[in-house]
Amino acid sequence: MILKERVRIAFARQQPDRVPLDYLTNPGIDRLLMEHYGLVASDGEGLRQALGIDFRRIDAPYVGPKLHPDLPRRQVNMWGIHRRWIEHESGGYWDHCDFPLREALREKVEAWPLPSPDQFDYSAVPGQCRRYAQYCCVAGSPGLVDIINSTGMIRTREQVLVDLLTDERAGLRYIERKTSIQLEMISRVLEAGKGGIDVLWIGEDLGTQRGPLLRLELFRRHLRPCHQRFIDLGKQSGILVMLHSCGSSSWAFDDFAAMGVGVVDTLQPEARDLGPAHLKKRYGDRLAFHSCISTVGPRWQTAPGRRPWRRRARRWRS
């Protein structure tokens, strides 16, 4: 069984020879695994082969100019999102900060520099598809679409929710500009792949550990139509669409299935109504699920009957 076929069988909600494996982590864990397998830091492909990973990412690198200058102790990406380095015991990660469009009105949003779909190297895509032909090739990421989380990185999560609730023109215009660029870019990636791409990966963060971030009505008013354009693109290309959502988001899974989503990513067993047994029973005839590794706390916190988010809340208050 080739690796691509293993994933296809699992995503069709059937039994493959083994559970397909995917890999996405922070730089610290990546470095430790590289050292464990005796690999040089640049050998990401060697690590994936050592781990038996069945998926590979396909993308068109950005080759346009630097649109937003980096700042002291800050990295600024092509969308203008600011990040600072946060260290911890396993290494560290880049966390968003500053929020340059937090109080921006529509005029500033209209003038904000954003990349053009013409500034990505689509010629790199066919070679990647050929190189990884035996694997499940995935275009996109959890950051593709991702209205609440990614817009929150530049406007704050609170302001994004206010924008959606009040139909704020500035916030909605930023969302429209960014997702239109992303839609055209990923459309060209799929076209350049010439049938070599198996899954379109998009994202949104819809829940906390306890429940929804917003009402279903608001999701249907602002988020669902935007996501539907990407889902329709994937369906037109004849490939599966996988939708990422952090937190307790199963309240939207009926809509996901109706929209044409085939696979839901990421599962968090500690979040409300997101346990694997519940999801299998409630949605197993319509949706497949990708990723189910707890990253919230030690195993004892998530034993049956425990409510780990309450334990952590008490610790935070202290």
- 97 pLDDT more than 60: yes
- Strand-pairing partners, residue 207, are 212
- Residue 101, pLDDT score: 98
- 314 pLDDT more than 80: no
CA 114 to chain centre: 20
CA distance 197 to 76: 30
Measured N-to-C along each axis, helices 27-36 and 44-51 cross at an angle, to the nearest 10 degrees, of 70
Section 202-217 average pLDDT? 94
Q: Which helix (H) or strand (E) holds 179?
A: helix 169-193
CA distance 122 to 120: 6
Measured N-to-C along each axis, helices 124-131 and 169-193 cross at an angle, to the nearest 10 degrees, of 60
Section 58-66 average pLDDT? 98
Asked if 243 and 291 count as a contact pair (C-beta separation under 8 A), the reply is no
pLDDT in tens, 7-46: 999 999 999 999 999 998 888 889 899 999 999 999 999 9
- 288 pLDDT more than 90: yes
Section 297-316 average pLDDT? 42
- Residue 292, pLDDT score: 67
CA distance 39 to 46: 7
Domain 3-62+117-150+162-168+178-317 -> CATH class: alpha beta
- Residue 268, pLDDT score: 83
| DSSP type of residue 131 | H
Q: Which residue has the higher pLDDT, 87 or 317?
A: 87
pLDDT band at 316 (very low <50, low <70, confident <90, very high): very low
- 307 pLDDT more than 50: no
Section 295-302 average pLDDT? 52
Average pLDDT, the chain: 91
Section 264-287 average pLDDT? 90
Q: Which of 114-128, 165-179, 290-304 has the lowest mean pLDDT?
A: 290-304
| Residue 76 burial (CB count, 10 A) | 17
- 294 pLDDT more than 90: no
The pTM assigned to this predicted structure is: 0.91
Half-sphere exposure of 12 (CA within 13 A, CB side): 11
- Residue 297, pLDDT score: 60
- 47 pLDDT more than 70: yes
- Residue 309, pLDDT score: 39
What are the domain boundaries of the chain? 3-62+117-150+162-168+178-317
| % residues pLDDT > 90 (the chain) | 78
- 189 pLDDT more than 50: yes
* Residue written as token pair 């009040």: 166
CA 259 to chain centre: 18
CA distance 135 to 9: 13
- Residue 298, pLDDT score: 54
pLDDT band at 296 (very low <50, low <70, confident <90, very high): low
